[in-house]
Amino acid sequence: MNIVYDHQIFAMQEYGGISRYYHEIANRIAAMGNAVEIFSPFYVNKYFCNADTVLPWGLKIPRFPKYIRVIPNIINHTLSHLLIKKRRDVDIFHATYYRNFNSLPQTAKRVITVHDMIHEKFPQYFSRRDTTRKYKALAVQHAQHIICVSENTRQDLIEILNVPQENTSVVYHGYSISGAIGSVKPIIHEKPFVLYVGSRGGYKNFILLLRAFESSRLLQNEFSIICFGGGKVTAQEIKLLRSLNLPSDCVSYINGDDLILASLYASAKAFIYPSLYEGFGIPPLEAMAFGCPVVCSNTSSIPEVVGDAAHLFDPTNTSDLSAAIEAVVYSSDYSVRLKSKGYERIKMFSWEKCADDTLGVYENLLGMNR
């Protein structure tokens, strides 16, 4: 089978969940004996290394400011139209994001992966100039098959964009930092801490975690919050911390690589995931892989992913979250049970299974039998 992935996400993200997904499945599908190509004349993505089976066709460039970025994007679109569209040797063309440019090879089936329906469910958290909803709808309309990363995402897609269910499949993600398990070093911190990972704005609902600490004298006196990734603390967050009268040492902000993140997972008393909506949600699985008890929202795809291996709470209820955290961090027996269930739960998810199931989608679309 000849498979081509386009340039879109690799020209957009240096690091990120979507580009990680395509990097993982492209290399594994190639290792299964398929011809796999990533056509990206210019790209900024940093996941690829010489050990990979598949490397992008093109030149790695720095991530330029937005006003300059339009130039390599135009070149990518133009070359895709000239060099990919006319090819007759491609079986599957998998678009890596939602832009609606016409570079589908003449003989190929077009596949797209929908990772979530956040823009459609929570438009209030995005700029009016954001075109994701428009282009996602067009990309879905023009695809022969749509892969969804959870059953919840599939049902949202069907309901919102009126997609026939037979044109969709569910393929779960894997998780990405298990290779760091043998290199973990404990994090030394002044207080025991709970861990928050990723961006903190909008539907990610980080403010609820701060309010949960405000409402619990026990938590704010005896624990702190470490935030990993998501950028530096903002002026708005500093203002909020002051208004909540939280101790100055209550929240710390750390950036770093997978080894640092792994150490944080292994050292935290609990991992907190208060998001209002996720299409899948990889961080809870990462936490489980390192024996970190998970406390997470009971909404969208999150219960589907974590099963009974996490303590669930209502992400609109401050007291529900503070009670959930206290239930985990103050009960060693309960924490041990969650850890044990987490180790079992993560056996359901791997990039190998994700790649194999994705290849199965391609084969079914082409009428091939395994």
Same domain, 58 and 207: no
- Please tell me the predicted confidence (pLDDT) of residue 157: 98
- Range with the poorest average pLDDT among 108-117, 251-260, 298-307, 312-321: 251-260
Task: Please count the helices (runs of H) and the strands (runs of E) in the chain.
Answer: 15, 13
The phi, psi pair for 3, rounded to 5°, reads -125, 135
Amino acid at 48: F
Same domain, 60 and 117: yes
Mean pLDDT rounded to a whole number for the chain: 93
Mean pLDDT value of segment 210-219: 95
- Please tell me the predicted confidence (pLDDT) of residue 101: 63
Q: Does the residue 93 lie in any domain?
A: yes
- Please tell me the predicted confidence (pLDDT) of residue 69: 80
pTM of the model: 0.92
- Please tell me the predicted confidence (pLDDT) of residue 272: 98
Same domain, 237 and 287: yes
- Please tell me the predicted confidence (pLDDT) of residue 237: 87
Is 60 exceeded by the pLDDT of residue 134?
A: yes
221-233, pLDDT tens digit by residue? 999 999 999 888 8
Residue pair 121/156 in contact by the 8 Å Cβ criterion: yes
Same domain, 93 and 137: yes
Q: What percent of the chain has pLDDT over 70?
A: 97
The conformation of residue 39, written as its DSSP 8-state character, comes to E
**How many domains does the chain divide into?**
2
- Range with the poorest average pLDDT among 72-76, 197-201, 204-208, 277-281: 72-76
- Please tell me the predicted confidence (pLDDT) of residue 57: 94
- Please tell me the predicted confidence (pLDDT) of residue 107: 87
- Please tell me the predicted confidence (pLDDT) of residue 327: 98
CA dist 149 and 116 (Å) reads 8
Domain span at residue 118?
A: 2-174+350-365
Same domain, 115 and 193: no
6-34, pLDDT tens digit by residue? 999 999 999 888 999 999 999 999 999 99
- Distance between alpha carbon 353 and the CA centroid of its chain, in Å? 17
Q: Does the residue 370 lie in any domain?
A: no
Q: What is the CATH number of the domain that holds 43?
A: 3.40.50.2000
Q: How many CA atoms lie within 13 A of 62 on its CB side?
A: 4
CA dist 15 and 255 (Å) reads 13
Is 70 exceeded by the pLDDT of residue 180?
A: no
Mean pLDDT value of segment 245-266: 88
Is 70 exceeded by the pLDDT of residue 130?
A: yes
Same domain, 299 and 361: no
Is 60 exceeded by the pLDDT of residue 154?
A: yes
CA dist 96 and 131 (Å) reads 16
With a CB cutoff of 8 Å and minimum separation 6, the contacts of 78 are none
- Range with the poorest average pLDDT among 71-75, 195-199, 336-340: 71-75
Same domain, 22 and 66: yes
Same domain, 129 and 189: no
Is 90 exceeded by the pLDDT of residue 63?
A: no
Question: Which residues pair with residue 13 across a beta bridge?
Answer: none
Tokens of 314: 């209502």
